[in-house]
Structures are given as C-alpha cells and as structure tokens.
Amino acid sequence: MAPPQVNRLRDKGLVDRKKVVGFNFDGTRLTGHPGDTLASALLANGVRLVARSFKYHRPRGILTAGSEEPNALVELRTNARREPNTRATTVELYDGLNAASQNRWPSLKYDLLSVNQLASPIFGAGFYYKTFMWPASFWEKVYEPMIRRAAGLGRAASAADPDHYEKSNAFCDVLVIGGGAAGLSAALSAAKAGARVILCDEDFRLGGRLLAERDQIDGRPAHEWVAAAEAELESLPDCRILRRTSVFASMTAAPTPRSSGSTIICPCRRRMSRASACGASWPSVPFCAPAPSSGPSFLATTTAPASCWRAPCALT
C-alpha cells in the first residue's frame, strides 16, 4: 500500500483530487493526482532527496519548477525505452510511471561514492590528467573506466529503441512560443486579425506562471482567464495549439525545429517539426539564477522560487 501524501495541500492547486494515480520512484510505490508533475508528486509524498551531484555525489533536491531544473534529473521507463537525464519538473504524472534516481550506488540515500566529498580539496578541475599518469597503459584500461563509472549521470539504453519517430513541416504567419499571459494574448491578437497561428508550450497545460497566481485578469481569476483564452483559441480555424512542445532552435531564413512528445502510449512517440513563420522576432527570455550560498551542498534545499518560471517570446 502506498504511503499517504503527507505534504499535499487540501484545496490548493489545479490537480484533480478526485482521481488517484500510482507511480514508482526507486522501487517505492507512491501516489499522485492528474495534473501533477513527477516533482510535485514527489514533494507531496515527502520525498526531498531525488538525486546526487555529478562529481562529489552530494545530496540534491528539487530547486525550480520548470525546464531549468539543475538537480532533479531522473531516469524514466526501463530496458530499451529507458530515458535518462529527464527533469522531474517537466514530467507529466500518469498511472504506472516508473522513475529512478541516477548517479548513486548502491542507493540514493546511502551513496558510497559520496566519500568523494572528503577528497574535494585535491579533486580540482582536470585533476585526473595530472594524477593518473603512470603507468600509461593503465589510462584506457583502468583509470578512465573507473572515473567514468564514478562520475556522469544516467545511462542510455543499450538495446535498440523499438518506438517510432516522425518528422513533419508546418507553416504559419505567427509562431508564438510560450503559453503564458503574453503568449496567449499574442496568439489571440494575431488569430483574430486573420493570421495563421501556431502556439507552442513545453508544458502539458497552458497558462505558465498564471496557474500559480491569485491575481485577476479582466475581472476574473487568472486560471479562469487562461481557460477562456484557450477555449477561444481552439475555436478559431487558423490557430493550432501544440502542448508538450519545445522550440529548440531559431534560424534566419530557415524553419524553426520543434520537438513534441506525449506521455500517452501511441504509434508515434515523438515528432520533430520544422515550422516556417513569416518574419522573425526573438525577444530576450530571462532566466533567473539561484541566490549564492555558502557551499554547493546547500543547493539541495527545495525552493522552487517563483522567479524561475519562464517568460514567453514570439516569432512574428
């Protein structure tokens, strides 16, 4: 039987508390609700330690609430479908999800390689190039395999991937990147003016930071405004909404590649699209940096600050 969600709030957030989904983390059965991410479900179940640092294997917890998460890198699925180095803050929770921590031995809580912290004064950058010099024949056979096994993060699957992937092309007048307040407003304005619009957002739900705000827009709660804007966009014939979609490149006089995926099992696991937009405008997108701390081990605290949510940009 799964343990209770000790840190779950009774009535806050947009999760569906009427339904319960089960998932596994490091072999432990836990529960969450539709609308959770893997990170929020872990926090609700009282799980704060989710990873170990790259070099010294220091304990790491969830730091942010989006794709900029540096700590909570986990491994999803098993065997040939294994997905290493996936950010728990971007994984949509679903029933039967299997996730595991990485870069630890024999377990996340008791990681023997954390003894590296004791030798941190002599483990400077590139120390192994000066330390493991003799005998030369040991480098490829002994030293390098040992170092690579001790460091690193997740491991890629050794078997061939059995799933299918697609490539496609898309054309529009306006490509809007980010489904927050500015992105939804830009998409609505362009679509109402008769432009062909594609709205992309990397999350499984539009709204961005508005989903966590108590402010009002046009006299109603922010999340209600988001739902109304989303419904209006879906009713417009020349507007296409792509959730779970990341825009990862913008090239002058060339299409913009997009990668979309879904946690639902389907014939096509992921699709890469090249979107051609009429003209291009790329405003700066700020990312916050965590406040300085007295030592790297203190970054394990769970903060998920509001300032770390993404800002949208648009290609017009």
Of residues 132 and 68, the one with the higher pLDDT is 68
Mean pLDDT of 63-92: 90
Mean pLDDT of 293-309: 46
Domain positions in the chain: 7-118, 121-153, 166-250+259-268
Mean pLDDT of 68-96: 91
Structure tokens at 234: 């879906």
Calpha distance 180→222 (Å, rounded): 10
Per DSSP, the three-state class of 144 is: helix
Mean pLDDT of 299-305: 42
The burial of 30, by beta-carbon neighbours within 10 Å (0-12 exposed, 13-18 middle, 19 or more buried), is given as buried
CA-wise closest residue to 199 among 136, 241, 246, 236: 241
Calpha distance 167→274 (Å, rounded): 8
Q: What are phi and psi of 120, to 5 degrees?
A: -60, -30
Please report which confidence band the pLDDT of residue 264 belongs to, taking 50, 70 and 90 as the band edges.
Answer: very low
pLDDT of residue 152: 66
Fold of 7-118: Ubiquitin-like (UB roll) (3.10.20)
Calpha distance 8→46 (Å, rounded): 9
Q: Which of 145-154, 249-258, 302-311 has the lowest mean pLDDT?
A: 302-311
pLDDT of residue 33: 94
pLDDT of residue 30: 95
pLDDT of residue 146: 75
pLDDT of residue 252: 61
Please report which confidence band the pLDDT of residue 118 belongs to, taking 50, 70 and 90 as the band edges.
Answer: confident
pLDDT of residue 310: 44
Q: CA torsion 300→180→36→153, rounded to 10°?
A: -40
CATH code given to domain 166-250+259-268: 3.50.50.60
Please report which confidence band the pLDDT of residue 302 belongs to, taking 50, 70 and 90 as the band edges.
Answer: very low
Catalogue the long-range contacts made by 2-9 (C-beta closer than 8 Å, 24 or more residues apart).
Answer: 2/29, 2/30, 2/31, 3/30, 3/45, 3/46, 5/31, 5/32, 5/41, 5/44, 5/45, 5/46, 6/44, 6/45, 6/46, 7/43, 7/44, 7/45, 7/46, 8/44
Mean pLDDT of 109-129: 76
pLDDT of residue 55: 79
Please report which confidence band the pLDDT of residue 308 belongs to, taking 50, 70 and 90 as the band edges.
Answer: very low
pLDDT at 281 over 60: no
The burial of 61, by beta-carbon neighbours within 10 Å (0-12 exposed, 13-18 middle, 19 or more buried), is given as buried
- Alpha helices by DSSP H, the chain: 38-44, 127-131, 138, 144-150, 181-192, 222-235
User: Same topology for domains 7-118 and 166-250+259-268, yes or no?
Assistant: no
pLDDT at 296 over 60: no
pLDDT at 280 over 60: no
Please report which confidence band the pLDDT of residue 34 belongs to, taking 50, 70 and 90 as the band edges.
Answer: very high
